[in-house]
Structure 1
Amino acid sequence: MPAFMFSRQPDALTWFGNGPGGRLLAIEHPWVAAALKARAPQPWLWLGPAAQDLSVTPSPRGVQLHRQAQGFTGSVRCDLPLPLPTEAIGAVVLQHALETGHDDLLEECARVLEPGGRLWLFTLNPWSPYRARWRGLDLIVHDAVGWRERLRAAGLQPVGREIHYMGPVWRTKSDGTGRAPGHLRAVCLLEAEKRVAALIPPSPVKRPWRTDAAPA
């Protein structure tokens, strides 16, 4: 496979390994588990910034990957394109995997997602005061409107109008259950679906007789 080159430093994703970033991954775990179970028993794909506990997965019928300097590692070592058949995955979880600025990965996820399959995108919230924790890192963070545009450009349809926000607003030890406004929390979660156009049904058969005709 061709080498997969990053325009941004993948080392920035090590921020999620521990400390303020690791705290966010821990808060997101129940949401990740629910997303992976939503399409069971179809296979799943989970892409994140670091290796994580696979105990949250519903079944072994899936692939977990995280980024490294050249491509991905985890269940398999690979580059793009992903070594997965087209339309073979029922659920895709992108957990901060796009914050190095590559829409081609999003397009690959759309390719492997089956019709009617769901994609869950966990991304940092640029409007949260928590952004001071990742300030100075080489991360690319978009707001929810920008991500929805990118999802549509990849052929995915955002589901619902509501955006889920989670995590702390400022304190690193917070579990995100306070009374602060949701749109100020550190993480936003978007959900999208792969939809395909339905086949055109056949035209009704024209009958050469009239069913309402009186008997002779």
Structure 2
Amino acid sequence: MAPTKELPPREMLDGRGLRLFRSAGRFAGDARCAMPFPLPTESLQAIVVQHAVVGGAAEFLAECERLLMPGGRLWLFTLNPLSPYRFHWARRGPVALRPDRWRSLAQQAGLQCVETERFLGPIWRTGRGSSDPGRAPWRAVYLLEVEKRASAPIAPTPIARPTRWPQPVATI
């Protein structure tokens, strides 16, 4: 899923996939569709979403949960509402959710967070030297990685076998 229709050429991408972007409340790209997506349940190993849209986030995450195989991963890249960069897009329409809200919505959809979110993008440096890792939440974008987990089926209990043959054993 991409934020705009400027998708990279298919030759530049490794693997197979379906490239979509939001268009007039629906999705366009390699296919034109709406949710639910015209794909079989548990048919995808990975979903990558760039600049996730907040409107309908709960329904979208529930649809991702339906499409992911057990053990499949969803990588959600979204704008950071705490970043000073938000002033660049604040009046243009995008709305962003805090990482804790996305985590909560993912858990409600049946997805489990793999680790804490990772903040991406440049950091303003106050001087020479390395940047302070505590300033990471000021970055423009964060990545939330979630996984669809399934309970392993309980195997049947094996039938106890006698340790030796019952006596007498007929032989010919």
Is 1:79 aligned to residue 45 of structure 2? no
Is 1:58 aligned to residue 14 of structure 2? yes
Identity rate, percent: 44
TM norm structure 1:
0.66
- Per the alignment, residue 94 of structure 1 pairs with 49
Tell me the amino acid that sits aligned with residue 184 of structure 1. W
TM norm structure 2:
0.81
Moved over 6 A (4+): none
For these two proteins, the number of residue pairs brought into alignment is: 155
- Per the alignment, residue 141 of structure 2 pairs with 187
- Per the alignment, residue 149 of structure 1 pairs with 104
Tell me the amino acid that sits aligned with residue 95 of structure 2. I
1:169–1:132 CA distance, 2 compared to 1 (3 A): farther
Which structure 1 residue ranges, 5 or more long, are not aligned?
Answer: 1-46, 171-177, 212-216
CA separation in 2, counterparts of 1:101 and 1:111?
16
Tell me the amino acid that sits aligned with residue 131 of structure 2. R
Contact in 1 for aligned 2:53/2:94 (Cα 8 Å)? no
Correspondence list, 1:11-50, <5 A = 47-50=1-4
Tell me the amino acid that sits aligned with residue 57 of structure 1. L
Which structure 2 residue ranges, 5 or more long, are not aligned?
Answer: 125-129, 165-172
Displacement of 1:91 after TM fit? Answer: 0.8
1:152-202 deviations in Å (ceiling 9; x for gaps): 1111111023x21111357xxxxxxx7262111000001011111110111
Q: Helix, strand or coil: the match of 1:111?
A: helix
Contact in 2 for aligned 1:164/1:190 (Cα 8 Å)? yes
| Bigger radius of gyration among the two | 2
